C-alpha cells in the first residue's frame, strides 16, 4: 500500500475517540508521525496509541491540554516544538456537540460555551501551529465542520452558526496563507456513528434516513479517509473548500422535526 503521508508530521486534536481516533489510525497507517492531542492524561489512551505505533511503525506522541485553557495550549505547542519535527498537518477535530434547543428558548451562555470550544479555541491553536508551518512554507490544515453548517439541518441554532463560522474562517485563512504554500480545507460530515450521537433520540435519527441517498449513517473511517485525502499531496491543488461526506444527504426528504435530544 502506498503511504500517502510518509515523512509527514501531524497534530490531531480529539485523538482519543470517534473521528479523531480514526484519523489518528489512518494517518499512522499512511506513515505520518502524529502528535495525538487529548484533554487529560489517560493510561488507556496511551496504551491505545502504543498499540497503533507498534502496528504501523509510526511515531505517536500523546499531548494533553484543555481546548479553553490558553496557557495549557501554549505549553502543549511548546512541547510539540521541542520535538523539532516540522509540522506538516493540523487537524482541528476536537469539539463539543450541543443538545437540540429551539432558538427562542436558547440561553446565550450555551451559545458562548459552544463557540469558545468549537471556534475560538480552534482559532488560537491554529494561530500557534500556523507559525510553525509558515517557517517551512508548506502545510495542510483541515477542520471538521458539519453539513449542518451548510443546510441548517438536524442541529440547533448554536451548532449550525458555529460550524458556519468555521467554514467562513477557513476560507479566509486559505486566502491569507496560500502564498506560503499552506492549504486550508474542511470536511463536513453528515450523521456519523460516534459516541456523540449514541444518546440521541433514535426516532429523530431514523427520521433522517429518507434524506440520505445511501440510506445509512456514515462511519468514522469514511470521514478519516476524506481527511487523509485533504491532508495528503493528492489534494495539492485543493484549498478553501468544504468537502461534504454525508452519503448524499438531501434535507427536504427528511422528516426530522427536532427535539430535546435530536
User: What's the predicted TM-score (pTM) here?
Assistant: 0.92
Q: Where are the domains of the chain?
A: 9-253
Tens-place pLDDT, residues 56-80: 999 999 999 999 999 999 999 999 9
Tens-place pLDDT, residues 138-182: 999 999 999 999 987 767 889 999 999 999 999 999 999 999 999
Q: In the chain, at which residue ranges do the beta strands (DSSP E only) sit?
A: 9-12, 33-38, 60-64, 89-92, 139-144, 182-189, 242-245
CATH architecture assignment, domain 9-253:
3-Layer(aba) Sandwich (3.40)
Residue 41, C-beta contacts closer than 8 angstroms, at least 6 positions apart = 62, 64
Q: Cα(176)–Cα(240) distance, rounded to whole angstroms?
A: 10
| Active site positions, annotated | 159
pLDDT at 219: 96
Amino acid at each position: 500500500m502506498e503511504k500517502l503521508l510518509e515523512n509527514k508530521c501531524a497534530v490531531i486534536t480529539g485523538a482519543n475517540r470517534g473521528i479523531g481516533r480514526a484519523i489518528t489510525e489512518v494517518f499512522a497507517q499512511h506513515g505520518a508521525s502524529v502528535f495525538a492531542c487529548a484533554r487529560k492524561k489517560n493510561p488507556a489512551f496511551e496504551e491505545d496509541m502504543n498499540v497503533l505505533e507498534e502496528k504501523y511503525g509510526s511515531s505517536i506522541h500523546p499531548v494533553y491540554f484543555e481546548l479553553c485553557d490558553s496557557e495549557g495550549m501554549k505549553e502543549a505547542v511548546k512541547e510539540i516544538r521541542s520535538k523539532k519535527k516540522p509540522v506538516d498537518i493540523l487537524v482541528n477535530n476536537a469539539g463539543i456537540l450541543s443538545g437540540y434547543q429551539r432558538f427562542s428558548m436558547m440561553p446565550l451562555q450555551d451559545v458562548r460555551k459552544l463557540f469558545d470550544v468549537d471556534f475560538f479555541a480552534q482559532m488560537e491553536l491554529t494561530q500557534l501551529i500556523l507559525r510553525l508551518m509558515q517557517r517551512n512554507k508548506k502545510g495542510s490544515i483541515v477542520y471538521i465542520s458539519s453539513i449542518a453548517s451548510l443546510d441548517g439541518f438536524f442541529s440547533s441554532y448554536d451548532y449550525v452558526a458555529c460550524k458556519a463560522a468555521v467554514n467562513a474562517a477557513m476560507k479566509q485563512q486559505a486566502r491569507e496563507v496560500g502564498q506560503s504554500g499552506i492549504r486550508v480545507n474542511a470536511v463536513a460530515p453528515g450523521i456519523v456513528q460516534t459516541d456523540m450521537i449514541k444518546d440521541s433520540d433514535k426516532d429523530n435519527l431514523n427520521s433522517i434516513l429518507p434524506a440520505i441517498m445511501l440510506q445509512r449513517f456514515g462511519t468514522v473511517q469514511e470521514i478519516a479517509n476524506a481527511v487523509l485525502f485533504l491532508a495528503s499531496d493528492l489534494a495539492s491543488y485543493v484549498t478553501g473548500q468544504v468537502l461534504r461526506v454525508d452519503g448524499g444527504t438531501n434535507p427536504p426528504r427528511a422528516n426530522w422535526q427536532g427535539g430535546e435530544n435530536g
